[in-house]
Amino acid sequence: MLGVIDLPTYLVGLLVIVLLPGPNSLYVLSVAARRGIRAGYTAAAGVWCGDTVLMTLSAAGVASLLQGNALLFGIVKYVGAGYLSWLAVGMLRAAWGMWKARRATEGATPVAVGGVERPFRRAFVVSLLNPKAILFFIAFFVQFVDPGYAYPALSFVVLGAFAQAFSVLYLSALIFGGTKLATAFRRRKRLAAGATSGAGALFLGFAVKLSVAST
């Protein structure tokens, strides 16, 4: 179908990959829990745009360039790890502020991470600064593209459309689940602080994992 080989196998693999936790999904969940459905979808839009850029770069062969250039890969890798660390510090600082204010008036809204937050931009950058994602896209996608098909770009579009559809469903589930968490956060400051601390720790873990990644 349109140069795509073994579509059922691709869909099964894609489902497993989408469901694996990562910084993108964690950030969307965090935004939805703190700021509601609209902000959650704003962050999700950043993820979808970032993934689209990565898919396009992968189809254009940029991923192969990164894989073959250790210096370039290292630059992208450490910039990405640094940005994730910066987000983690912001979350931990916000969590500390929540702990100090936990005896304030019940029902107050938890402090937003880093003051003025731009969910779309942050999610977009988190998506882009992930060289392992670029390498994954090229390594995974090419296995399902018929090399003899006359229009390989169309094959990538089909594969990418399925990937985005899975992502929309998954992130939507996280967003609506996050709004339920928000109700608990507003009632329980310690829960909000603990959850934000956990998210910050996970982002630090993602940064460490990315910094030690190899081509």
Mean pLDDT, residues 65-77: 69
Residue-level pLDDT at 124: 93
Count Cβ atoms below 10 Å from residue 126 Cβ, excluding itself: 25
Q: Which residue pairs from 95-98 have beta carbons closer than 8 angstroms and sit at least 24 positions apart in sequence?
A: 95/193, 95/194, 95/196, 95/197, 95/200, 96/193, 98/189, 98/192, 98/193, 98/196
pLDDT tens digits, one per residue of 87-124: 777 767 766 666 666 545 444 444 444 456 789 999 99
The H or E element spanning position 203 is: helix 189-211
More confident of the two residues 44 and 29: 44
Give the pLDDT confidence score for residue 114 in this predicted structure: 44
Nearest partner of 84 among 205, 212, 203, 213, judged by Cα: 203
The radius of gyration of the chain's CA atoms, rounded to the nearest angstrom, is 19
Task: Count Cβ neighbours within 10 Å for each residue of 68-77 and write b for 16 or more, e otherwise.
Answer: eeeeebbebb
Can you tell me the distance from the alpha carbon of 155 to that of 67, in angstroms, rounded to the nearest whole number? 22
Question: Quick one: residue 104, left, alpha or beta (phi over 0 = left, psi -120 to 50 = alpha)?
Answer: beta
Residue spans of beta strands (DSSP E) within the chain: none
